[in-house]
Structure 1
Amino acid sequence: MIASTGLTETVLRERAEAFQLYPEHHDIWVTLEGIDLHLAELIEGEQSPELKEARAQARGREEKYFKLVEKYTPLAVQAAALREWVPVLRRAVESLPATCRYHDETHPHGTWREACCDTGVPAQRRALAEKALDALASGA
């Protein structure tokens, strides 16, 4: 079930705790939690050999799945996808304002601020995103 989401159990758990799951992934997470709860009730701290074997097989299948995904997604395909999406991301970043409406600079005026003021935050984030996109484009 976890493999069908394309996520690891850890990532699925983190996203569930942060309420950042797609509805279909949430359904899988709720089902898994229910299964774990019922197994815990049945086992009460003692795991049967069958359950240990089933968990080991599940982990093995999950590892094989992710190895296959990595094997059949070569770096060339990943780089092509990155080249395809960098211009799209760049256009999205360009929709953010380049400067603050009230100030020419966007640098914070203290240690607790992200930018010069609230209206300078999008401009500051645009500058950071442009740096990240430049780094991605140079690595691609």
Structure 2
Amino acid sequence: MTKQTAEELQAQRAQLIASTGMTETVLRERAAAFQLYPEHPEAWSAVEGIDYLLNGDEGSADLDEARALAARWEGKYFELVEKYTPLAAQAVAVRRWLPVLRRAVEALPAKCLYHGDPTPSTGGWRWSEACCDTGMPARRRALAEEALNALMEEATV
């Protein structure tokens, strides 16, 4: 069994990093992204081993705790992305199609051809219907305008 001092391990670590031709930060980022050149994984593995030896057992508990915390945050991040991405896509679609819907609604007549007023009668069983068959497009326009106004309010919020 070979024993080395901490200074010797740090010197060996620095030599391994220098042999890759990269800085430690670049080497660490490339290793995390699995983008190391074919000759560098062994050097990186040795650097990680030296780091483990230099930190001893006390550093590993902190490292494990940090990794667990990072995993929880990563899980929460992807949960939020999955939750809110469809809503954001819907909001973009609504903002995109509102002018088209507005033009389509404006193509409908605003008043009944015979009675003029598109509002439904207030009494009897026909309270939600238009005055007559020719008043139905006007009633539909009024309902569609209410819906579009509500959508525009939601899109601006």
TM-score class, shorter:
0.3 to 0.5
- Larger Rg over CA atoms: 2
TM-score by length of 1: 0.46
